[in-house]
Chains A and B, each alone.
Chain A
Amino acid sequence: QSVLTQPPSVSAAPGQKVTISCSGSSSNIGNFYVSWYQHLPGTAPKLLIYDNNQRPSGIPDRFSGSLSGTSAILGITGLQPGDEADYYCGTWHSSQGAVFGGGTKLTVL
């Protein structure tokens, strides 16, 4: 049972927009920054978003992050087949250290 709650799966057609939610509490998202990671099985996870809405160098602006209270949202526009992956949110917890969501599998139809 992950500390942060994500939908198990989302899907959308190429070129469309999709959002992935990440729900937490005041012990984590409510008081700490959220990061998002993209993971293709068998490869190293990749940092997409940090500090709720900041993109590391090299991450296209098709990826965006936002925060509302104790929930975070990852948005992906202009979906491409290469975006098909597992996406994880992460943050810090006041008594558990880093915590993550259970992951959301994105399918590009």
Chain B
Amino acid sequence: QVQLQESGPGLVKPSQTLSLTCTVSGASISSDGSYWSWIRQHPGKGLEYIGYIYYSGITYYNPSLKSRIAMSVGTSQNQFSLNLNSVTAADTAVYYCATTLQFRNDVFDIWGQGTVVTVSS
């Protein structure tokens, strides 16, 4: 079965770049129809959509974060990544990677367990 696992530093300094990787097992990141997505949850808050990358490189970013985001796909490692630059304390959150129902970008059927990222000096 498909599994996703986030990895990356748990602590990032303000103004630096947050870099996370999601490793996919049980499926190919080059599968047609899968939108590889990132979602975060601030402490005590609801879920916030970050965006997705398609295996071809097509991306969609949340307009509120668009100027600070870059996503990429690593087909040889079967991974996809998130870079969020110029971070502040407001970026402290649990970050989830997820994939979607095939050929859908709005239904997240497989999620990772999440990784906690704290922005602090």
Residues of chain A whose beta carbon lies under 8 Å from any beta carbon of chain B: 2, 32-33, 35, 37, 42-47, 50-51, 56, 88, 90-92, 95-103
Contacts and interface: CB of A to CB of B under 8 A. Distances in A.
A2 B64 CA distance: 13
Interface residues of B, number: 27
Given A33-B107, A43-B113, A44-B114, A99 B49 contact: yes
Nearest to A3: B46
B46 A101 contact: yes
A96 B50 CA distance: 10
B14 interface: no
Contacts of B46: 2, 88, 100-103
Contact of A47 (B108, B112, B113): B108
A45 B48 contact: no
A37 B109 CA distance: 9
A46 B47 CA distance: 13
Most buried by A among B45, B47, B62, B105: B47
Contacts of B64: 96
